[in-house]
Structure formats: structure tokens, C-alpha cells
Structure 1
């Protein structure tokens, strides 16, 4: 199973804009690359994202991007962060791509939502069905066959699974599961009973807040592309 880390998903076809570039160039590149945002850098330092809406406020095509109040300066992932975090940021901020920083905190590139989802794999079944479950556990406790048995005992199946080291603890791992059911209550109860930590979940029928439901719906829309 691939780890699906940000550094493995970088899109080499989308270049960053420089802070000395003009709004005219930014508009041209947004159209050329068919994206709603592009990263802006000063040297190798990530400054933020420029969007189509940002450019609409500036009529002078020679205005440099350094003069614009860029947003999303704090919206990025580290090179060794997981697919799940990329999707979290994309959904929360309603953006099509997420900047990536390297070990020196310098700009490394971007991961697009479409590239991340292509790596995760296609979603079988009707759009809007299914769920995402993220488990955290000690590496020595990891057994996909055992976890699959617990899931199947609750009349569900694992459609895909990806594992990555926990960025905060080298002895723990994070397992992202895609399931063919949108009812996670019994599954999570079973897994927790056997000592697995459910660190995140997106389920269409769980009792969640309106904001959480919006995030889940957005994720399933992405997964249905």
C-alpha cells in the first residue's frame, strides 16, 4: 500500500508565480492551467495563493503581486503529511490545490485535489455513498486482515486502505480506510473496543454538525469526480 504522502503527489506541471509577476500574468496562468488559485513565492518562500477573485479588484494589469494582500499564507502541508490532511485543507478552504513545503520550510510544489484523488483510487458505487475512516495505532498492532474482519463482522467492506507513519510519533501509524457503508457507528464501536483510536471519520448518516456534514458532502463530491 502506498503511503500517499504530499511529496509523492506533487504536480510538476503547475509552476508558482513570483511576487514580482504582474496581475496580467497571474490571470493568464490561471486560465492556462485551468485552476482557481496559484501559489506565489518570493525566492523559495511561500507567500500565499492568488485567486481569480483577488485579481478582479485590480484593473491595472501591471500591478505586481507583491502589492496584493495574498490570502492562504498559512494554508499548506509539510512534505511528509498524508493525503487526508491535503483533503482536509482543500475542503475547509474550498481550494483546488494545496501548497507543499520541504524540510527547510521552503516551497516544494503543489498537490491538486484531482491528483490526490487519482492516487487514492476511483470510487465504486453511486455518488454520495460510503465513508472515510482514519485510525491511529501502534505500528506493532497493525493488521489489515484483523481490521477487515472487524469491519466485515458489521456487514461492511474495506474498498481501499492506505497507511502512513504518524508525523508526531515514529512508533505509531495512521491508517485511512474507505468503506462501502455510510453507517459507521457499529464499526467504530467495535474498533474502539479492540483498542483502535478513531482519529477522524466522515459519514453521511452519523450525527454530525451542519459544518461537518458540509465537509463530508464536499469530500464525497470530490471522490465522485
Structure 2
């Protein structure tokens, strides 16, 4: 599905000559955190609902409050992941969209983009989720892919899900008939397995050894 199919034009953008009252009415009628303001079809910025609501002079024009504008947007070539980052970075549920000439063409709604992401093969294809951990300077995406594929697995995708001190955690979505072999290979390459999995041979072995040692000590 082409993400551009989800560019919306249902709500007309605000303009610098729009009044505070009209902006408040827009936010009252639609569940939006921000809304774009244009001038001659060029994006000036986006007003946050929180900022609009505290302005008491409702007959005043938006141009008097341009210092409150936030500057964020996406171009027509933006990917779903790029859009999700813009949504998160700006704590917004709407993103203005510009064409190559920087003209305003519409906006993305967070709900639509999340729907596209949640129905992508990456999310819906039946798979295993494996989280591995290693020093940031030592891990390699190419090595990760090789480990999965060398054990007859199929890597659907991978991303750095956590970064703490000198370590990173990498979340993998993969298809495999024997994830144990993949986990054992990761361990041989000094990757720590963070996620828990049923029938993990390595952990079962550690558990059995621990139980045996405990029994021995109790003799």
C-alpha cells in the first residue's frame, strides 16, 4: 500500500489571517494536537492545541502569535518509519505534507499511519521475535542476518529497540523451524539472548545443572 494514498485534505489548513476563535473551534471539532498554518500555500508551521487554548484574545489573528508555531513536516516520499519518528519526536497526531516545491498538499493522521504499519507483512506474518544484546561497538547487522540465514531461518526485519550505556538490544522478527539453533549460534558469537523462549535448550541445561548441583550440596 502506497502511504501517499493516506494524505488527507478533509480539513482546510489555518491561515495567518485566521482568528484565534476559528482555531479554537477547529480543535473543538476535531481530536487534534496540532494543525498546520499556511500562507500562499506555503507551510508557516503548526499551532498546538495547548497553546491556542490559553490565548484569551479570540478575535486576534494567528499572525500575532507566530512565535508559538512548531516547525515539523514530511515530504511526499517519506516512509512509514520516518513518519512514525516525526509523530513521536513532536508528540503530535498530525503531520503536514509538502511536495517537492515545498507546497502544502495535505496531512497525515497518526491513526492511518499506525494502521498501515500494523497491517504490513513485517507485523502480521507469522514469525518469532528474538531479542539479542551486545556491546554497541561489537554488533553487526550483517553478522546477525548471516547467523539467522546460516541456520535456515528467514529474517523479516531487525531494529535497535534499546540502547543503554555501551550495550544495544536488537529486536529480530524471523521465521525458523528451529529457533534454538539460531539462539545457540548467537551465544557462540557472544550475543546475550534477552527474550525468553519455551524449550530453550541452553536455559534448560543450565536449570538441570543447577538442580543437580543443589541436590549434590544437600547430600
Structure 2 length-normalised TM: 0.59
Which residue is 2:159 aligned to?
201
Q: Which residue pairs with 2:38 in the alignment?
A: 41
Q: Does 1:72 align with 2:99?
A: no
Structure 2's unaligned 5+ residue stretches are 135-139, 150-156, 170-219
Counterpart of 1:49 in 2: which secondary structure?
strand
What is the aligned partner in structure 1 of residue 175 from structure 2?
A: none
1:191–1:96 distance in 2 versus 1, CA, 3 Å: same
Tell me what 2:184 maps to: none
**Higher RCO, Cα 8 Å, sep 6+:** 1
Matches within 5 A, 1:97-112: 97-112=94-109
Aligned-residue CA RMSD in angstroms? 3.3
TM-superposed CA distance for 1:159, in Å, is 3.1
Q: Can you give the 5+ residue segments of structure 1 that lack an aligned partner in the other structure?
A: 124-156, 162-177, 214-225
Shift of 1:16: 0.8
Higher helix share: 2
**Equivalent residue number for residue 78 of structure 2:** 81
Task: Please list the CA deviations of residues 168-191 of structure 1 after superposition, one character each: whole Å capped at 9, or x if unmatched.
Answer: xxxxxxxxxx97526155994422
C-alpha distance 82-179 of structure 1, shift in aligned 2 (>3 A):
farther
Give the whole-Å Cα distance in 1 for the aligned partners of 2:96 and 2:42: 11
2:89 is matched with which residue?
Answer: 92
TM-score (norm 1): 0.57
State the alpha-carbon separation in 2 of the partners of residues 48 and 192 from structure 1. Answer: 45
Q: How much does 1:31 deviate? A: 1.4
* 1:191 equivalent among 140, 145, 148: 145
Q: 2:129 aligns with which of 174, 181, 184?
A: 181
